[in-house]
Amino acid sequence: MARTDTAQELEPAFPSNASASATALWYVAPRECALNAETLPALTAQDCLVRTLWSGISRGTERLVFEGRVPVGEYERMRAPFQQGDFPFPVKYGYCAVGVVEAGPTALLGETVFCLHPHQDRFIAPTNRLTRVPLYVPARRAVLAANMETALNAHWDAGSGPADRIVVIGGGVLGLLVAWLAARLPGAEVTLVDIEPARAGLAEALGFRFSLPEDAPREADIVFHASASAPGLATAIAAAGFEARIVELSWYGEGTVAAPLGGAFHAKRLQLVSTQVGGISPSRRARWDYARRAAAAMALLADERLDALITEDIPFDEAAARLPSVLAPSWHGLTAAICY
């Protein structure tokens, strides 16, 4: 069915199978997943029934969940919008689902939408929690929307601008999207720093430079750190120029991380700031809401080169068996996408 952006009266369609069962991926114990059946809630006039096409594994966060490393003090703040269960286990967790609306308001029937929903073959969600996927963004690529939204918010927190010298430490999906956005700024000098030499070709294809940590640029105007490691943070601090801002995107979970705040950290008057997608950056908060930011992030996914950030497809019925390898430290892919 062709998509439409024309506002229409809400005329929900209530199919006979609206209360049928669905299957969802659960994290049930440390390093253990399972596919569990569940009954969908009743469909209301404000809801849509969505048949999932793809969902993306947000490896950094889901690995912490999978390993049971969510700090007790962060149990509430770490809850995903449609999470079921409680940390540490069992918990249904995830937030990168793309599917087709099969029932709900007539204006959305047949539309492809994104939702911050866990891995599940069908789900019900309120219409105001769905973001339309434009025709020019394939459903598979749309699973990157949550990471793109995080990258966009990080640039707002950083105050990135044209002609800035920008260094990104960590070539995972989030770091790559941050660097890709930075490279679109006129005149910006953007370098990705990673320990994997294989990231060099991807950096070139996406339009920015690459460096190993020992060759990382110095005197950067803005440094983004996304490696979730103490050596990466040290590299970020070393790369920053006088009064530069270092934006920390990594989420470490339990434990502490060493930060080399001696040396030139104070003499160079460096700023070390956090960024987190749960709150809209203060620089935009007065004019932007979550829906506007989500739509902007989705539109930014129009570049077909971003397909290279999805490196493995997993059939949903194999997800419980294959996720342990994807979430293991030895996995060298970027995003794994579950296909339904």
How many CA atoms lie within 13 Å of 101's alpha carbon, on the beta-carbon side?
Answer: 32
Q: For 56-74, what is each residue's pLDDT tens digit?
A: 999 999 999 999 999 999 9
Superfamily of chain region 21-146+305-339: Medium-chain alcohol dehydrogenases, catalytic domain (3.90.180.10)
| Kind plus residue range of the DSSP H or E element containing 191 | strand 189-193
- Please state which architecture CATH assigns to domain 160-274: 3-Layer(aba) Sandwich (3.40)
Residue 82, pLDDT above cutoff 90 = yes
Instruction: Output b/e per residue, 69-85; b: 16+ Cβ within 10 A.
Output: ebeeeeeeebbbebbbe
Kindly state the greatest CA–CA separation across the chain.
68
Residue 2, pLDDT above cutoff 50 = no
Residue 17, pLDDT above cutoff 60 = no
* DSSP at 168: E
Domain positions in the chain: 21-146+305-339, 160-274
Residue 172's closest CA among 283, 310, 266? Answer: 310
Over residues 190-203, the mean pLDDT reads: 98
Residue 18, pLDDT above cutoff 70 = no
Residue 328, pLDDT above cutoff 80 = yes
As a dihedral over the C-alpha atoms of residue 159, residue 273, residue 129, residue 71, rounded to 10 degrees, the angle is: 170
Q: Is 67 exposed, middle or buried (0-12, 13-18, 19+ CB in 10 A)?
A: middle
